[in-house]
Structure 1
Amino acid sequence: MANRPPENWRAWMAEVARDVEAGILGPECSGAAAMYPESLLMATDSVLEAFEAEVSGLLEPSDDEVFGAVERVVLALNAVDGDASHGGAGYCTEEREQLCEYIDRTLGEHGVDVAALATRRGINRAEITDAWRAW
């Protein structure tokens, strides 16, 4: 199963904290945890968990069913990204890339040929989230 991006973000914050404590990084880096407040991490995990459950329930899905699942997860992630309760934290370039890769990998793990799906829609594999993505 693909690692959810919030797992990567938590690991990165722990690594930065260890490096600050060890003196490898300066004290100015100690605020790295503000990039990923727990509210953002938990909300993102919740959205991705729902996506996993939806995709695992798709048996021999049509392209429209798969794109419906992609649309729902992307719109839910848009809501998380735009939620002011995270103190202005949201998805930047690296987070966007990890989220898109996660969506692709999760579909693939559940038997969806993402490259073929994209080709049938006349888009590149990396563009499957673009129609709905605001982050």
Structure 2
Amino acid sequence: MKKVYYLSTCSTCRRIIKEVEPDNDFIFQDIKNEPLSKEQLDDIFALAGSYQSIFNKQARKYRELGLHSQELSEDKMRELILEEYTFLKRPVFIIDNQIFIGNSRKVINELSAFMQVHKKHSLSSH
């Protein structure tokens, strides 16, 4: 499976998608227009290993709701992500069993490198 969870209104998401040039096999899901299902979030969690790693503490609502002064449990983070799409760190790229979360330069470099290898591999298998 090749999937991207992103926000179409997010200039950072758009820049990263343009930069890594995902091929036509990718399924794009704008999480504002098509919210994550519990099953999709569970799949992301299974690959990520924790809700903390996919929880966006930069979201405006994180401070607005006073969450920065609370200790959030994994269950609470899951609940918040399902209630409010901005709490999902994005973009999230899933390529087979690999997951790439967020917009840090390190993650984007790893994603780009992985996709280059993946493209070469899929070209050579045709």
How high is the TM-score relative to the length of structure 1? Answer: 0.24
Relative to total residues, which structure has the larger helix share, 1 or 2?
1
How high is the TM-score relative to the length of structure 2? Answer: 0.25
Point out the structure with max Rg over C-alpha.
Answer: 1
Relative to total residues, which structure has the larger strand share, 1 or 2?
2
Greater RCO (CA < 8 Å, at least 6 residues apart): 2
